[in-house]
Amino acid sequence: MTRPHPYLTLLAAVLVMGAGVLLGVRMLTSAGEAQVAAPTCTDRAVATGEPLTPNLVQVNVLNASGREGQANRVTINLQRRGFLEGAIANSTSAVEVPNVTILTSDPEDPRVQLVAQQFVGEIAYAEPDIPVEDGVTVIIGDGYQDLNPEAPTEIVSTRDLAICVPIIDL
């Protein structure tokens, strides 16, 4: 009696292997699906005289102090106050930072003013000497004291603002 089972098994294995190779080649050489670029933020407008709240302000915190993790701790505390998290990193700026320095070309910007009021002690302002992300960029120095427990949660905008609020996927 002949046993056809080994031959059938071998034939089935060859067919499965051939189908796998064919499918793999087609997947490798296909153009793929076109990806539509999704917006990264939602535009919001704050008119002169309207309240500017922390949920519209993204804060980037850079650490220039000798304390490891300081930028992360400050960011967490600002988030508890409603601010949006931005970049967290060690500072590469050459700006002298005694307490807190805000990198901005416009210290009168209401967003900058709202962030500045969150800190205890003297706040310095400096022109950015490094690339800065969207939002307000704060550098924490060795003399950093703390956040102001009596800081306002909103201020009245002194000018019209167009704000790009980052979209956060949950």
- The pLDDT of residue 10: 87
Considering the domain boundaries, does residue 47 fall inside one?
yes
Residue for token pair 């002298």: 96
Q: How many domains does the chain have?
A: 1
| 56 close to 44: Cβ distance less than 8 angstroms | yes
Domain of residue 67, CATH code: 3.30.70.2390
- Domain, as residue range, for 129: 41-166
- DSSP state, residue 158: S
Q: Could you list the beta-strand ranges (E) of 47-135.
A: 51-52, 58-63, 84-90, 100-103, 123-126
- For residue 3, being part of any structural domain is answered with no
| pLDDT the model gives residue 38 | 76
Which is nearest to 167 in space by CA: 36, 39, 37, 57? 39
Per residue of the chain (170 residues), what is the pLDDT tens digit?
Answer: 566 677 888 889 999 999 999 998 888 888 777 777 777 788 899 999 999 999 999 999 999 998 999 999 999 999 999 999 999 999 999 999 999 999 999 999 999 999 999 999 999 999 999 998 789 999 999 999 999 999 999 999 999 999 988 787 76
Q: How far apart are the first and last CA of the chain?
A: 66
- 17, part of any domain: no
Query: Does the residue 147 lie in any domain?
Result: yes
